[in-house]
Chains A and B, each alone.
Chain A
Amino acid sequence: MRSRRTGTLAAILALGILVAACGDDDDSGATASPETSAPTDDTTAEAPAEGAAPAEGSLTIGFIYVGPKDDFGYNQAAFQGSEAVQAAFPAVTIMQAENVPETAEAEAVMQKMIDDGATLIFATSYGHLEFARNLAADNPDVVFVHQGGLEGEAKLDNLGTYFGTVYEPVYTAGIAAGAATESGTLGYVYAFPIPQTLANINAFTLGAESVNPDVEVITLATGSWCDPGLQAQAAQSLLDQGADVLTQHQDCTKTIIEATEAAGAFTVGYHADASSLAPTGWLTGSEWNWGPLYIDIVQTVIDGGFVASAFNGDYRVGLQTGDNPFVQSAFGSSVDADTVALIDAARERFVTGGSPFSGPVLAQDGSIVFAEGEQPSYEDIETMDFFVEGVIGAIG
């Protein structure tokens, strides 16, 4: 067996040399390419000791995205956050990798970034968490921050999660939808029943019900974060069911917005301000502004204060605690002053400690999930596994 493996390795190397033989020598150690990896040991030696402050210029940050970084949605928002970091810290080196799946490949890509000198990594997709955690355990000198997950019991000093209370602007957008609908039927296209999505659908429904108690929200799962063909058909199915306001939790959003606008229905956006795609039907939406939070995190790491900071844990920022990185989009012309006043009142409630999910909240089957006066925690909300009353569709 040993000799066969050796033989195979030799064959691989021969093949590889053959591939490399075109135009460049494979003496990559001598070239000044920034990708040239330092041996892992060196990286460790160069990396700052726990708590020490890396000079801004020596900091290399890696960003990984699950989709294309120009998807006009979730990934693009994160990418723009990385650009804000670059603008704020010109001396920092930033590495990017898009289309990193939520599999062990993510671990390999982040490992590669660490080999190339990254000491701070933003893992920006929900399913990247476990791989960030695995690497964090093996690389105590590299700081990992994960977007949207929960660290859980096993806390690590060099791992934290961050997110906004995304469901707050979704709730207030629900108010606008509930006020705008004439049919009393709203449509929601989503990908998978992950807690973030369920919280959004529920918040949207509760917001709409707060102004229009009989409203119902039809949910359609596409089973994909971006499948425009399915989205177009899903939007049509919802319109066929009489939905006159459509919203979505998809990575690419244009198809549904355009279909909604063409049908003369109202749009509630997600991820980005797409009002230009729906000049008449645009109500409002929610959009990301990651820059300030990312910059905060990077500054904390540069100052050497990550371990002691709130970022070392499950950091959540919302209207109550500070700037939510997920903000309300501009209102469309059809949103009247009364509705805006209702939205402002709801936002004021959230600023002063309320939540879109303040009890009582009833599940789809009418059972009580959060009792009267109950204030669910972030963790309650972010592990949500039910639909509220008024939602049509099954999770399973």
Chain B
Amino acid sequence: MLIESVLAGAVRGGTSMLYPVLGETIAERSGVINLGTEGCMLAGALAAYVVGIETGSVWLGALAGAAAGAALALVHAFMVLSRGSNQIATGLVITFLGLGTTALFGQSYVGQGVNAFAAVPVPGLSEVPFIGRVLFDHDPLTYLSLVAAVVTWFVVFRTRTGMKLRAAGERPEVLEAFGLSPVRIRYVAVVVGGSLAGLGGGQLSTAFTRNWSENMTVGRGFVAVALVIFAAWNPLKAIGGAYLFSGAIALQLELQARGSEISKYLLQAMPYVTVIVVLAVMSRRQLQRSPESLARVLG
């Protein structure tokens, strides 16, 4: 029962993390790290919420969320790729930009009713004990995130596009030799990455929480960047990474709800501690799989 609740909670809460982890995986595969993922998520969360309200369509909202995340990521790409500014610093600036902009423009939307994504149980499967509740009783964006993970994996590892993407991150000189522009590939990767982060933000506001409030991501975007390392830049492992953090949150809440004697402050710290410990345990191994251009910052 505890395990079922924790796993179900991990999936439910992890979807808004899975999108940005996938997005950041793509960006980092091309050789660009984007700490602005946090800001992209906020932009996506607000845009999806607002467009959802204004148009009455949650799907248009989700699209708008992706577009807003992409727009902010484009600023990152421009700064880093065309103006040569530092990736880490620029990423943090992008987060400030997303945080401030959404705080200002979101002001009048706090607490407003939104036409939210509802859970769509998969007929039949959702009735299966354990698995049904964990996997098949979610909103459409959750199912879509799993599809997105598989598709991303396929594109990255099984297609020419993916080969170019990986080459941009590892052997850009080879690309050049073939007359391809690594910069253009990185632009696309960062923008696609931002759109996925925006979609994750949209899932957070219009499906998971059905709410908008200032700084509602509270660091989820940063954690997503950390989880990319955990996932070893592999979109399939990203699923596990995303669910790791939300699973830790679900576990600490379930323990609190069961009247655990463990200090709640310790429990609240657990998700962050978990991520750090897991990274520490796995990093040396993961690092060998990191795109070469990223090796320095991650080493």
> In their complex, do chains A and B touch, with some C-beta pair under 8 Å?
yes
Q: Give the CA-CA distance A277 to B12 in the complex, in Å.
A: 21
Which of A68, A219, A232 meets B213, CB within 8 Å? A68
* Inter-chain contact B268/A240, CB cutoff 8 Å: no
* Inter-chain contact B250/A252, CB cutoff 8 Å: no
Q: Give the CA-CA distance A311 to B183 in the complex, in Å.
A: 66
Q: Closest residue of chain A to B269, judged by CB? A: A223
Residues of B within 8 A of A221 (CB): 256, 264, 268
Q: Scan residues 229-261 of chain A and give those whose CB is less than 8 A from a CB of chain B.
A: 229-234, 236-238, 240-241, 252-255, 258-259
Residues of A within 8 A of B111 (CB): 70-73, 76, 252-254
- In the assembled complex, the CB of A279 is this many whole angstroms from the nearest CB of chain B, namely 11
For the complex, is B230 an interface residue (Cβ under 8 Å from A)?
A: no
* Inter-chain contact A396/B263, CB cutoff 8 Å: yes
Which of B119, B205, B249 meets A262, CB within 8 Å? B119
* Inter-chain contact B9/A233, CB cutoff 8 Å: yes
For the complex, is A220 an interface residue (Cβ under 8 Å from B)?
A: yes
* Inter-chain contact A240/B209, CB cutoff 8 Å: no
Contact size range, B: 35 or more
Contact with B along A197-228 (1 / 0, CB 8 A): 00000000000000000000011110110111
Residues of A within 8 A of B213 (CB): 68, 71, 226, 228, 252
- In the assembled complex, the CB of A286 is this many whole angstroms from the nearest CB of chain B, namely 17
* Inter-chain contact B218/A233, CB cutoff 8 Å: no
Residues of A within 8 A of B250 (CB): 233, 236-237
Q: Closest residue of chain B to A234, judged by CB? A: B253
Q: Give the CA-CA distance A253 to B110 in the complex, in Å.
A: 10
Contact A68-B110, Cβ < 8 Å, known A224-B218, A228-B211: yes
Residues of A within 8 A of B246 (CB): 233
Contact A68-B217, Cβ < 8 Å, known A233-B249, A233-B250, A237-B253: no
Residues of A within 8 A of B108 (CB): 70
Q: Closest residue of chain A to B110, judged by CB? A: A70
Residues of A within 8 A of B113 (CB): 276-277
Q: Closest residue of chain B to A261, judged by CB? A: B210
* Inter-chain contact A241/B216, CB cutoff 8 Å: no
Which of B9, B211, B216 meets A237, CB within 8 Å? B9
Q: Give the CA-CA distance A393 to B259 in the complex, in Å.
A: 5
- In the assembled complex, the CB of A72 is this many whole angstroms from the nearest CB of chain B, namely 3
* Inter-chain contact A394/B12, CB cutoff 8 Å: no
Q: Give the CA-CA distance A76 to B208 in the complex, in Å.
A: 24
For the complex, is A156 an interface residue (Cβ under 8 Å from B)?
A: no
* Inter-chain contact A394/B13, CB cutoff 8 Å: no
- In the assembled complex, the CB of A391 is this many whole angstroms from the nearest CB of chain B, namely 9
Residues of B within 8 A of A97 (CB): none
Q: Closest residue of chain B to A253, judged by CB? A: B111
Q: Give the CA-CA distance A227 to B264 in the complex, in Å.
A: 16
* Inter-chain contact B211/A255, CB cutoff 8 Å: yes
For the complex, is A392 an interface residue (Cβ under 8 Å from B)?
A: yes
Residues of B within 8 A of A99 (CB): 214
For the complex, is B220 an interface residue (Cβ under 8 Å from A)?
A: yes
* Inter-chain contact A232/B256, CB cutoff 8 Å: no
Q: Give the CA-CA distance A229 to B242 in the complex, in Å.
A: 14
Contact with A along B1-19 (1 / 0, CB 8 A): 0000100110011001000
Residues of A within 8 A of B116 (CB): 258
- In the assembled complex, the CB of B128 is this many whole angstroms from the nearest CB of chain A, namely 18
Q: 20 interchain pairs (CB within 8 A)?
A: A68-B107, A70-B108, A72-B110, A73-B111, A219-B256, A221-B264, A223-B265, A228-B204, A228-B205, A229-B204, A229-B220, A232-B12, A236-B12, A237-B5, A237-B253, A240-B5, A241-B258, A253-B111, A276-B113, A396-B264
Closest 8 CB pairs of A and B: A72-B111, A228-B209, A237-B253, A255-B209, A240-B5, A228-B211, A255-B211, A392-B259
